[in-house]
């Protein structure tokens, strides 16, 4: 790691706007002939950054795998654009962080600790237990954050705006401020924020560092007011910070950080155009063929512990057990795409999802009816086809920062779709009125909501879908990004 104070005395960067996130806009794999194959990702940040159309804006991200590392090493200063890669007209600096340090920071602290805390995922009689192994991981997390702060400090022009993303980078804002007090720094949390009593599962010094790290930003922003207030409550409880709940500010150690709320919406123009391309039509025809004239309950998730897929299947099973009138009249289409497969909990969870799907098909299936169709390989056009076909969409996370599936389905739905939505999803703040709200732990209530959705009159479903789509697209990704930038100025 270089010396951050060097950057302080002599800022040489030229980027007026910077984004920092663990996962970047591109990733690499090694092709059969040994060359690097580049894949571009999508999402809110990608379209957000494209909105400013500034070729000098820089996105700093981490190399996630071996091929990424090779690309980063071969590029001058990790700048993929300068190595001739087609990164979509953007400047991208990919950090080649030592693989062991990266794994400890990403798997150990970010995904197995902070993610678990914010999504309330621990089975507390046995976990967490913060011992010596965690301390090694925490050191790695600190080094990983310092590597980002160093790269940002080197790339940023005087007075530049820097938008730091997510729980992977909670220490970076304070580290960057120490190196470059001239910068305007924003932090954005894409996750929920834990309530103080749960946040305090973290060792005291770690809890303090996470909060003071984010408070190093001028502005800390969240997807809903609920998560912003939870962060403020943690600052009050852990740091004794002064909190203004109306003005949404936190004052600690003589500095005030403003809190912001930006509810990322779905990209209507993109989705509506993409959902009618031939590859989607083709998949829609195949799904229609499989479903016949039956009703559909659709869910699309990463196979992520917080998404609550197992209880969703239990609810569907309860529906079939208690309301036999649905036998042979409904199909549950569930897409559960691979996620974080390095973690044993995720592999076990995926196995449980597959097992339960098989149990349901064995219990109710007939020669001519497969009650549950599960796909575990990622296929975006097939997801869009399922969105179009859905009579009911099931989005029942234990807890979720926002949940964009809940916002995307109403936008592309062909005939209107009832939305069964967890009250613990950030999206519930905007969609709750026209959704069928559920407590994600209550399997019977979820089964009842599925029944209500399946029997909802067509005109009511269409009306609700119209209102859901309007609410879901109120803040498109480009505006979401520009608002954050404006608020930093």
Q: Which residue is nearest to ligand F6P (CB)?
A: 190
Residue 5, classed as helix, strand or coil, is helix
| Pairing outcome for strands 58-62 and 15-20 | parallel
Closest CB 191 distance from ligand F6P, rounded Å: 5
153 versus 425: smaller Cβ distance to ligand F6P: 425
CA distance 450 to 322: 12
Burial letters 333-356, b for 16+ CB under 10 A, else e: bbbbbebbeebeebeebbeebeeb
Q: How far is the CB of 292 from ligand F6P (least distance, A)?
A: 34
The helix/strand/coil state of 289 is helix
User: Is 340 among the residues that bind ligand F6P (CB under 6 A)?
Assistant: yes
Closer CB to ligand F6P, 405 or 447, in the complex: 405
| Residue of 50, 142, 339, 479 that binds ligand F6P (CB under 6 A) | 339
Least distance to ligand F6P, CB of residue 385, Å: 21
- Residue (111 or 422) nearer to ligand F6P, CB: 111
401 binds ligand F6P (CB under 6 A): yes
What H or E segment, with its residue span, contains residue 45?
Answer: helix 44-52
Residue choice 96, 166, 233, 301 for contact with ligand F6P (CB under 6 A): 166
Residues 25-84 that bind ligand F6P (CB under 6 A): none
Q: Tell whether residue 190 is a contact of ligand F6P (CB under 6 A).
A: yes
* Contact (CB, 8 A) for 426 and 471: no
CB of 304 to ligand F6P, least distance (A): 8
**Which of 191, 257, 308, 422 touches ligand F6P by CB under 6 A?**
191
Using CB under 6 A, which of 4, 8, 16, 23 touches ligand F6P? 23
**Contact indicator for 8, 152 with CB cutoff of 8 Å:** no
Give min distance, CB of 308 to ligand F6P, in A: 15
| Cα dihedral 429, 431, 433, 436 sign | negative
d(CA 140, CA 146): 10
Nearer to ligand F6P, 190 or 332 (CB): 190
For residue 209, the SS3 value is helix
Residues whose CB is less than 8 angstroms from the CB of residue 132 and which lie 6 or more positions away in sequence, other chains included? none
- Site membership for ligand F6P, residue 347 (CB under 6 A): no
Strands (E), 363-408: 372-375, 392-395
Q: Is 484 in the site for ligand F6P (CB under 6 A)?
A: no
Residues that bind ligand F6P (CB under 6 A): 23, 111, 166, 190-191, 339-340, 401
């Amino acid at each position: 790691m270089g010396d951050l104070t060097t950057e302080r005395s002599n800022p040489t960067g030229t980027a007026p706007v910077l984004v920092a996130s663990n996962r970047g806009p591109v990733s690499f794999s090694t092709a059969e002939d040994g060359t690097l194959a580049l894949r571009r990702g999508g999402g809110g940040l990608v379209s957000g950054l494209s909105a400013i159309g500034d070729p000098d804006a820089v996105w700093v991200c981490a190399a996630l795998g071996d091929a990424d590392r090779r690309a980063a090493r071969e590029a001058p200063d990790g700048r993929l654009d300068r190595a001739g890669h087609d990164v979509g007209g953007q400047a991208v600096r990919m950090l080649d962080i030592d693989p062991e340090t990266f794994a400890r920071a990403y798997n150990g602290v970010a995904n197995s600790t902070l993610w678990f805390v914010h999504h309330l995922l621990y089975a507390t009689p046995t976990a967490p237990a913060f011992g010596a192994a965690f301390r090694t991981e925490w050191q790695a997390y600190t080094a990983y954050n310092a590597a980002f702060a160093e790269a940002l400090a080197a790339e940023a022009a005087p007075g530049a705006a820097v938008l730091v993303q997510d729980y992977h980078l909670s220490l970076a804002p304070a580290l960057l401020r120490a190196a470059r007090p001239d910068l305007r720094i924003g932090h954005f949390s894409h996750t929920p924020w834990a309530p103080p009593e749960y946040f305090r599962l973290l060792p005291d010094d770690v809890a303090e560092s996470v909060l003071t790290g984010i408070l190093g930003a001028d502005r800390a922003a969240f997807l809903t007011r609920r998560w912003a207030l939870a962060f403020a409550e943690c600052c009050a409880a852990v740091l004794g910070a002064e909190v203004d709940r109306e003005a949404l500010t936190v004052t600690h150690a003589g500095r005030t950080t403003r809190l912001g709320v930006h509810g990322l919406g779905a990209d209507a123009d993109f989705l509506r155009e993409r959902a009618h391309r031939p590859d989607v039509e083709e998949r829609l025809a195949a799904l229609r063929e499989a479903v016949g004239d039956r009703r559909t309950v659709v869910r699309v998730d990463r196979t992520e512990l917080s998404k609550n897929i197992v209880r969703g299947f239990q609810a569907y099973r309860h529906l079939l057990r208690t309301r036999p009138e649905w036998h042979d009249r409904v199909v549950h289409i569930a897409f559960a795409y691979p996620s974080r497969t390095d973690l044993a909990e995720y592999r076990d969870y995926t196995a449980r999802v597959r097992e339960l799907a098989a149990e349901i098909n064995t219990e109710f299936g007939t020669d001519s009816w497969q009650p549950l169709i599960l796909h575990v390989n990622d296929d975006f056009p097939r997801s869009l086809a399922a969105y179009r076909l859905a009579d009911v969409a099931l989005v029942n996370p234990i807890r979720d920062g926002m949940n964009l599936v809940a916002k995307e389905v109403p936008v592309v739905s062909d005939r209107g779709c009832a939305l069964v939505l967890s009250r613990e999803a950030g999206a519930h703040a905007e969609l709750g009125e026209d959704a069928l709200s559920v407590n994600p732990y209550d399997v019977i209530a979820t089964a009842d909501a599925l029944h209500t959705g399946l029997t909802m009159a067509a005109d009511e479903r269409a009306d609700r879908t119209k209102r859901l789509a309007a609410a879901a697209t109120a803040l498109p990704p480009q505006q979401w990004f520009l608002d954050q930038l404006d608020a930093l100025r």
